[in-house]
Each structure stands twice: as C-alpha cells, then as structure tokens.
Amino acid sequence: MLFVLAQFFGLIATVFLIGSFQTEEKNKLLNCQIMAGLLYCLQYLCLGALSGSLMNMMTLIRNLVYRKFGDKVPFWCVGIIIFFIILLTIFSYDGPISVLPTISIILFTIAISRDNLTIIRITDVISCILFLIYNVKVLAITGLIATVFELVFVMSAIFRYDIKKVRR
C-alpha cells in the first residue's frame, strides 16, 4: 500500500516540477518546486528512502527561504542551507548512493540562489542525472519516470529560452 501511495505522490509532484521549468519567472518556478518538494518528500518517506525524503524537505525549506529573498539570496543564507543539507546527509547516510541526492540538492541550491534561469536549468540537468541513479536504487518508479520527463522538459526549456535566444 505504501509503495502505491509513494508512486501517487511522485506522479503529482512531477506535474508541479515539470511546470516549474516552463516559466520565465523565478517566483513561479519556486512555488511549483515547493509543492513538488513536499510531494517528493512524502514519496521517498513512503519508500523508506530517508535521504531522498530529507533532501526534498530541505528543497521545500530552501525554496520558501529563497522566495522571501527574491532575486538575490544572501551568501550566508546559502551557506546555512548547505550546512543543514550536509548535517541531514550525515544523519541519513546509507551508503554512497544516499549521497547522490545531497550532491544534487547542493548544486541546485547554489544555482537557484542567483537570478539566472539559464544556470538553474543547466544545473537541473546534472541534478536529474544524479536523481536517476538514486531513483533506480530506491525503486521510486514514478520518481524515475518523472526525472526522465523533467530532463526532457528542462532540455526543451534550455532550447526554447537559452539556445534560441542566442541564435537570434
């Protein structure tokens, strides 16, 4: 039952996550990612994947904090968030695979702290690759499918908003 519930949470989270990268406004991106973070946190919790759950809880908190600061998040704030990410990773460490969400979340935490959606989208490609591996390991089936879709949608957003603009 928890396995099915986990996949349901992952499916709904995917809708929010994909929507987040189809916008050119950072606040809309953050709002969608707050919902996705909550739902992914629940998904990984149902799967018993503590590291994934805690990292998604941190993304939810990070996005709430970042939304408050707007375009320029203070460096000290980024440092505090990364400190807590590392602390939660130590608490939830379950082998080398459990560190992949941490690397992903730290990279994205740094990228999203600035007002550069191109860097945010490129960093998300790297994060997707790390979460693909993690999702296979913890059997987050909808998370795996979602990550593939996210990768496709982020790459389409890179093409639409970043590459096409350069060509003009």
Predicted local distance difference test score (pLDDT) of residue 4: 93
**In this predicted structure, what is the pLDDT of residue 127?**
94
Please tell me the predicted confidence (pLDDT) of residue 5.
Answer: 95
Please tell me the predicted confidence (pLDDT) of residue 166.
66
pLDDT of residue 167: 65
Residue 69 has what pLDDT? Answer: 87
pLDDT digits (tens, 9 = 90+) for 85-104: 999 999 999 899 999 999 99
Q: What would the two tokens of residue 119 be?
A: 């860097």
Residue 105 makes CB contacts below 8 A (sequence gap 6+) with 55, 58, 59, 62, 85, 127
**What percentage of the chain reaches a pLDDT higher than 90?**
52
How high is the mean pLDDT of the chain?
89
Task: Please give the C-alpha separations between residue 122 and each of 7, 70, 90, 104, in angstroms, as whole numbers.
Answer: 27, 20, 27, 12
> For the chain, which ranges sit under pLDDT 70?
166-168
Q: Where are the domains of the chain?
A: 2-167
Q: What is the pLDDT of residue 168?
A: 58
